[in-house]
């Protein structure tokens, strides 16, 4: 993974990212979902795998020291602490990925998909998480439980 500066200067941020799909940035840290490795990787200031064993990590968003990562393949949303890499499932059974029973259209006899579905994640200033659920074309709003937050 390479960084290109404003004057065209290039620098290597990470060498162990195979297929980055989503990115969140804070200070000198880059948080990347790597769909080939099924992992969330931190690069920059320090390099480490924050979470692995994921099916298809796609969208990623940062709120304070908490990363929200959408595993579209497993249909789960994870919250990961950037300080200690502790991960918890925030939501599951989300309508992400190709809907059950449907096929992705392909390009002739190539077997290549014409569209690559993507599920995204965003967090507002209050910590409300928004999930773009490509499986049904919806935007989900996930609010924190005020009593436990």
Residues of the chain with pLDDT > 90: what percent?
Answer: 50
Whole-model pTM: value is 0.80
Contact 81, 145 (CB under 8 A): no
> What is the C-alpha to C-alpha distance for residues 64 and 139, in angstroms, rounded to an integer?
22
Average pLDDT, the chain: 83
pLDDT digits (tens, 9 = 90+) for 29-78: 999 999 999 999 998 878 899 999 999 999 999 999 999 999 999 999 99
Domains in the chain: ranges and CATH: 9-99+114-142 (2.120.10.30)
- Token output for 60: 């990623």
Q: What is the pLDDT of residue 133?
A: 80
């Amino acid at each position: 993974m390479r960084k290109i500066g404003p004057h065209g200067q290039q620098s290597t941020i990470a060498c162990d990212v195979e297929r980055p799909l989503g990115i969140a940035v804070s200070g000198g840290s880059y948080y990347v979902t790597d769909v080939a490795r099924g992992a969330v990787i931190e690069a920059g200031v320090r390099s480490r795998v924050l979470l692995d064993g994921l099916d298809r990590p796609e969208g990623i968003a940062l709120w304070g020291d908490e990363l929200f990562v959408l595993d579209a393949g497993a249909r789960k949303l994870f919250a990961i602490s950037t300080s200690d890499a502790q991960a918890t499932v925030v939501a599951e059974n989300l309508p992400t990925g190709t809907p059950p029973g449907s096929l992705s259209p392909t390009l002739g006899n190539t077997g290549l998909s014409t569209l690559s579905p993507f599920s995204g994640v965003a967090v507002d200033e209050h910590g409300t998480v928004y999930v773009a659920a490509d499986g049904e074309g919806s935007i989900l709003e996930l609010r924190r439980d005020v009593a436990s937050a």
